[in-house]
Amino acid sequence: MKNSHPRHELKYLISLQDAAVLSTRLSAFMADDSYGDGKDGYEVLSLYFDTPARQFARDKEDGLFERKKYRLRTYGSTGVYKFEQKQKKGSLCFKTSCTVNPDTARALRDGGLSVNSREDGFLASFAARRNAGLLSPSVGVSYTRRAFCLESGHVRVTLDGNVRALRPAGAFAVSGDVAKAPFSPSDRPLAVPVLTRGFIILEVKYTGFLPAPVRFLLSLPGRPVQSLSKYVLALDALSGLRQHR
C-alpha cells in the first residue's frame, strides 16, 4: 500500500490546438512518465465504484469540503493494475493505492474478494463493503493520456483526450483466453464520448509548489481553472446524473 503526499490539482478544459502547443513546450523541459512511450501517449482505463445512490458522485457535485472515490485502473498494455482511494480535502488531494494482480482485480470488480485485514487493511476495508453490496461498479472511463513529470516540486502534467464513458457491466468483460486480462479493449462495448469534440482535459498536479518555469510553460490566457471530474462527467453521459438530483 502506498500513501501519497498531499498535493494540489488544477484542471482545465483546453482545445486540441492548445494541447499541441503545450506538448511541444513541456517535452523540451519535462520527461514523459514511465507509462508513456512518446507523443502518442497511452490509454488509461478506470472502473469506478460508488454506493447505489451514487453518493461519491453527489458529494463532488455538491462541492463537499471532504470527499472520496474508489477506482480500479490499468495503463495501456503494461499489465499493471492499481486499486486506489482518492480523497479531497478542500484544495488538497490524498491518494492511497496498491498494485494488485489480475485475479485480485477481477475479484474487486465482481465481488467476493477475501483479504486478511492484518495484511492489507485498506483493501480489506473496501472488500468488506464491496462484498456486502454497499459499493459496486458505477461506470468505466477510458482516455488517452500524455503525461510529463518533473522531480522538482513533484510536478505531473497530464493531457487527457478522447475521454469516453463505458457501462460497467461490459466495460471490463472477461471471456475465454482473456481471463487473465479483465480490462481487455477487445471486450468493450461501444463507448460514449464525454467531452465536446475538439477539447481535452489538462491536469496539473504538484506538492508544495509549482516551479516558475513550469508555470510559465503552462500559461494559457483565458483558460480558467475548472472543477472537472471525469468520473462525474462519465456518469452524466451515460445516465444523466444531474437529471436525477
Q: Which amino acid is at 61?
A: E
* 154: number of Cβ within 10 Å: 15
Task: Give residue-wise pLDDT tens across range 213-228.
Answer: 898 999 888 889 899 9
Cβ-based burial of 132 (10 A; exposed 0-12, middle 13-18, buried ≥19): exposed
Q: Mean of the pLDDT values across residues 218-243?
A: 84
Q: How do beta strands 199-206 and 155-166 pair? A: antiparallel
Helix or strand holding residue 104 (H, E): helix 102-110
Residue (of 52, 42, 97) closest to 70 by Cα position:
97
At residue 7 the predicted structure's pLDDT band, cuts being 50, 70 and 90, is very high
Assigned C-alpha cell, 111: 465481488
Assigned C-alpha cell, 28: 523540451
Report pLDDT for 101.
86
Mean pLDDT of the chain: 85
Residue (of 142, 143, 145, 141) closest to 36 by Cα position:
145
Contact 71, 49 (CB under 8 A): yes
At residue 75 the predicted structure's pLDDT band, cuts being 50, 70 and 90, is confident
CATH number of 2-244: 3.20.100.30
At residue 193 the predicted structure's pLDDT band, cuts being 50, 70 and 90, is very high
Assigned C-alpha cell, 149: 513529470
Report pLDDT for 239.
77
| Per-residue pLDDT at 242 exceeds 70 | no
Q: Mean of the pLDDT values across residues 89-96?
A: 91
- Angle between helix 102-110 and 121-131 (nearest 10): 40
| Per-residue pLDDT at 179 exceeds 50 | no
Report pLDDT for 37.
67
Radius of gyration, alpha carbons of the chain:
18
The residue ranking higher by pLDDT, 192 or 188, is 192
Report pLDDT for 117.
58
Q: Mean of the pLDDT values across residues 76-87?
A: 87
Cβ-based burial of 8 (10 A; exposed 0-12, middle 13-18, buried ≥19): middle
Task: Give residue-wise pLDDT tens across range 165-177.
Answer: 998 876 664 433 2
Task: Give residue-wise pLDDT tens across range 13-55.
Answer: 999 999 999 999 999 999 988 877 667 789 999 999 999 999 9
Assigned C-alpha cell, 127: 472488500
The DSSP code sequence of 148-160 is EEETTTTEEEEEE
Residue (of 118, 115, 113, 167) closest to 142 by Cα position:
167
At residue 190 the predicted structure's pLDDT band, cuts being 50, 70 and 90, is low
Q: Mean of the pLDDT values across residues 124-138?
A: 91
* 41: number of Cβ within 10 Å: 22
The residue ranking higher by pLDDT, 121 or 4, is 121
Report pLDDT for 55.
96
Contact 85, 96 (CB under 8 A): yes
